[in-house]
Structure 1
Amino acid sequence: MKSLLVKSATILFPGSSLYGRVADVLVENGKITSIGTGIILPEGAGEADGSGKYLAPGFFDLHANFGEPGLETKEDLETGAAAAAAGGFTGVSLMPNTRPPVQSRSEVAYLVNRSRELLVDVFPLGAISQERAGKDLAELYDMHQSGAIAFSDGNKPVADSGLMSRAMLYVKAFNGLVFSYAEDPSLAGAGKMNEGTTSTYLGMKGIPSLAEEIMVARDIYLAEYNDTKVHFTTISTAHSVELIRKAKEQGLQVSCDVAAHHLALTEEALTGFDSNFKVKPPLRTHEDVAALRAGLMDGTIDAIVSQHTPHEIEYKNIEFEIASYGILGLQTVLPLAVCAGLSPELIAEKLSVNPRNIVGLPVPALAEGDAANFVLFDTDTHWELNEGTNRSKSSNSPFMGQQLTGKVHLVANNGQYFTF
């Protein structure tokens, strides 16, 4: 790694004596060697202007989908990591929605070993059940030993309450964590969007809020019964926020995240039948968006995730009813957080600090001798997501061609750095 000097950036590293102050940071051979003001640029070093920008621990995404292994035409590790880096992420946890699913030590080890040379740290999530079928537990302990940081069936809910309870209890033995994707399939049915006035107007089958909320309530009860942790990923309704708020007030070991697009988009975006807005959980109402934003502000919602879900064009450029769910998300998380009204300090908390705390990973520090792991960003630069700036292999984003506010300028990790 060529030496790098970041000049005059506002420091947002928690615990740093310089928090909220402007400083220079010099990185040499991948390590921070000097922090202060007026640092002279070494000969041959790169320089990044941090004026009006914020230097925080590299963002960490708790919910991303790459295609590898088996679905590399959607996204492979290299292109996914490139998109993550451009979005400010130096770490991502990958859902097991691959072919085969990440359900044993071999798949976990493959991802860990294949990603060693990347700037972005890749952390697999192991499947809760074999084949993500919701019937039998997968090899949870073996996957934990091989590097899986938590467990999830990805975009498939664990409908069997007994299986979910056993999974929570099993991982408790090694302080593991289960992710809950809260959806009752019998209530969601074949719905394509949020159930409500807009779905009625468009003549489409809806997914009621209840389909999510009843599973949030169930898994809160299971976590209480088993005295275990549970993490709810991509919650989307106002009542889900309230249920989790009350669980936290009771002292239960509950955490949750929200997908960035649920902070900015509502069901009304679907009136044009653009399949790039088709996601699951579905886009909800203005009231739900307001509740999600409020939940971030008061600490009920711990983290923001990308729910990055790349698809080939043939899965999206078709009739809305049969199009696949999901949008690209890694490069638009920061602008959507800015759109939701989050301050730079809160952005660093929800994207850098809390996600790592949830899965028990250390938060990068800013001190001389530490490895450089940071992101330099601002909240006012305008830029466009287009064919030239998109780093993903796929292009299924509703924000393609739009002006976005809030930009990542630099990421550094693993002895590497990229500027944007």
Structure 2
Amino acid sequence: MAIVKIENVRVLDPIQQIDRVQTVYLENGKLVAESADISESIDAQGQWLMPTMVDLCARLREPGQQQHGTLKSEGKAARENGILHLFTPPDSKPIVQDNGALIHGLVEKAMLDGGIYLEVIGAQTQGLNGKQPANMAGLKKGGCSAVSNANAPFEDDDVVIRTLEYAAGLDMTVVFYAEEPQIAKDGCVHEGFIASRQGLPMIPTLAETVAIAKYLLMIEATGVRAHFGLLSCGASVELIQQAKAKGLPVTCDVAMHQLHLTDQIIDGFNSLAHVRPPLRSEQDKALLRQGVKDGVIDAICTHHEPLNSSAKMAPFADTLSGFTAFDTYIPFGIQLIQEGLFSPLEWVEKVTLAPARVAKMQSRWEQEAGWVLVDPEVEWTLNKETIVSQGKNTPLINQVVKGKAVRVFTA
């Protein structure tokens, strides 16, 4: 078999806690012993070699919304940016994630079309209607390890409790994207000065923290394992920290863009900055960063949501929310390192081993993960030609960024 020799590369291996410059040999995406049977030799001076990443929240738009993205287009975008394992919420249109028999086909198609390992989060209620629990036993049989109601509301709290008890009995994780609908209402941006000045409907931080506090009480009562995805508020970090201190079985993640961007970027009704949960304040950003640094927030995800150009052309409140995020994931990570929040190895752990542990798939990830060669110094312009994703919807469009995956080695 073909063996690639990579010289002078900085190996960042969170499993072995290795951070050193060395020569490595790769065969089918695996490290092997020194060999004379070399088919290619690479001098990777100044470059990093890290495992392929695990993304806990990405919408690929298929099935049902292929005008925004497909398993083929978004799988390619993920893979070329070093992301091999992806978790997708159960809110495709139409919703198929409440049917365990259909999920296996979706997973197979993701590998055939896009070359990625897709992990489907099952629907917590039938059709995400918030009324009747979905057939979680069937979902587990179909390969789901977790369920969620995504951004869909529950009819009442009794439904939530019943679904948590059901999931706990099956040893499944429940994923919350916490937002109290009665508080969030028709809001679309963070409650702050910019939104007030522009007259945009607002989503206060209370919409998130009230929901988290309520769900934590239910988690404690039912004993279910739970994950809080896409935290956006500093106060949410404190609630999770208290829950972990009590020994509750909870984990959480934050989208990479929440560690960089704030509601200031919506100024001028910039619809490319419309995302949900919304970009928050500078203080929230600082507290989220500290939460990741301290380990209260377990992992960083992309929250990738590709959209076509027309989706962002209406007045701000009427546009669809979402960022294309695969192509900015490594540049944003490099920026965190340059700003001193993480060492390179610490950042790599937050996007590889940590999310694999959250998903209870560490051993499987270690078997399936390949390696990514990253150039942390290369500068490039993020535009419609260089973005691999079908969606070009990012507020960083036409900006110069630093850091890129230059080669991915997998089986």
- Give 1 or 2: higher helix fraction: 2
2:52 touches 2:369 (CA, 8 Å); kept in 1?
no
Question: In structure 2, do the counterparts of structure 1 residues 378 and 185 end up closer, same or farther at CA, with 3 Å as the change threshold?
Answer: same
TM-score between the two structures when normalised by the length of structure 1: 0.91
Distance 2:62 2:289 in 1: 33
Could you tell me which residue of structure 2 aligns to residue 137 of structure 1?
Answer: 133
Could you tell me which residue of structure 2 aligns to residue 255 of structure 1?
Answer: 251
Instruction: Provide the secondary structure at the position in 2 that maps to 1:392.
Output: coil
Could you tell me which residue of structure 2 aligns to residue 356 of structure 1?
Answer: 356
User: 1:127 Cα deviation (Å)?
Assistant: 1.2
Within the candidate set 372, 377, 382, 1:375 is matched to 372
TM-score between the two structures when normalised by the length of structure 2: 0.93
Distance 2:352 2:273 in 1: 26
User: 1:270 Cα deviation (Å)?
Assistant: 0.7
User: 1:388 Cα deviation (Å)?
Assistant: 2.3
1:199 touches 1:205 (CA, 8 Å); kept in 2?
yes
Instruction: Provide the secondary structure at the position in 2 that maps to 1:64.
Output: coil
User: 1:372 Cα deviation (Å)?
Assistant: 5.8
The answer to whether the aligner puts 1:334 opposite 2:325 as a matched pair is no
Distance 1:106 1:385 in 2: 39
Amino acid at match of 1:406: G
Within the candidate set 58, 80, 84, 2:78 is matched to 84
User: 1:208 Cα deviation (Å)?
Assistant: 0.6
1:64 touches 1:94 (CA, 8 Å); kept in 2?
yes
Within the candidate set 48, 68, 71, 1:74 is matched to 68
Aligned length: 405
Could you tell me which residue of structure 2 aligns to residue 103 of structure 1?
Answer: 98
**For 1:333-358, what per-residue CA distance to the aligned partner results, in whole angstroms no more than 9, with x for missing partners?**
22223333332112111100111111
1:129 touches 1:153 (CA, 8 Å); kept in 2?
yes
Question: In structure 2, do the counterparts of structure 1 residues 6 and 141 end up closer, same or farther at CA, with 3 Å as the change threshold?
Answer: farther
User: 1:47 Cα deviation (Å)?
Assistant: 3.7
Distance 1:238 1:272 in 2: 25
In structure 1, stretches of 5+ residues that fail to align are 416-420
1:61 touches 1:91 (CA, 8 Å); kept in 2?
yes
Distance 1:148 1:364 in 2: 15
Amino acid at match of 1:241: V
2:189 touches 2:274 (CA, 8 Å); kept in 1?
yes
Any residues of structure 2 matched to 1:35-46 within 5 Å, and which?
A: 42=38, 45-46=39-40
The answer to whether the aligner puts 1:112 opposite 2:111 as a matched pair is no
Could you tell me which residue of structure 2 aligns to residue 51 of structure 1?
Answer: 45
User: 1:267 Cα deviation (Å)?
Assistant: 0.7
User: What's the C-alpha RMSD, in Å, of the aligned pairs?
Assistant: 2.1
Could you tell me which residue of structure 2 aligns to residue 24 of structure 1?
Answer: 23
User: 1:319 Cα deviation (Å)?
Assistant: 1.4
1:157 touches 1:182 (CA, 8 Å); kept in 2?
no
Any residues of structure 2 matched to 1:226-237 within 5 Å, and which?
A: 226-237=222-233
Within the candidate set 398, 403, 411, 1:401 is matched to 398
In structure 2, stretches of 5+ residues that fail to align are none
**For 1:132-166, what per-residue CA distance to the aligned partner results, in whole angstroms no more than 9, with x for missing partners?**
12111112121121122311222334463222222
Could you tell me which residue of structure 2 aligns to residue 12 of structure 1?
Answer: 12
The answer to whether the aligner puts 1:412 opposite 2:403 as a matched pair is no
Amino acid at match of 1:217: A
Could you tell me which residue of structure 2 aligns to residue 387 of structure 1?
Answer: 384
Could you tell me which residue of structure 2 aligns to residue 418 of structure 1?
Answer: none
Amino acid at match of 1:359: A
Instruction: Provide the secondary structure at the position in 2 that maps to 1:156.
Output: coil
Could you tell me which residue of structure 1 aligns to residue 54 of structure 2?
Answer: 60
1:372 touches 1:412 (CA, 8 Å); kept in 2?
no
Paired-residue identity, %: 31
Instruction: Provide the secondary structure at the position in 1 that maps to 2:303.
Output: coil
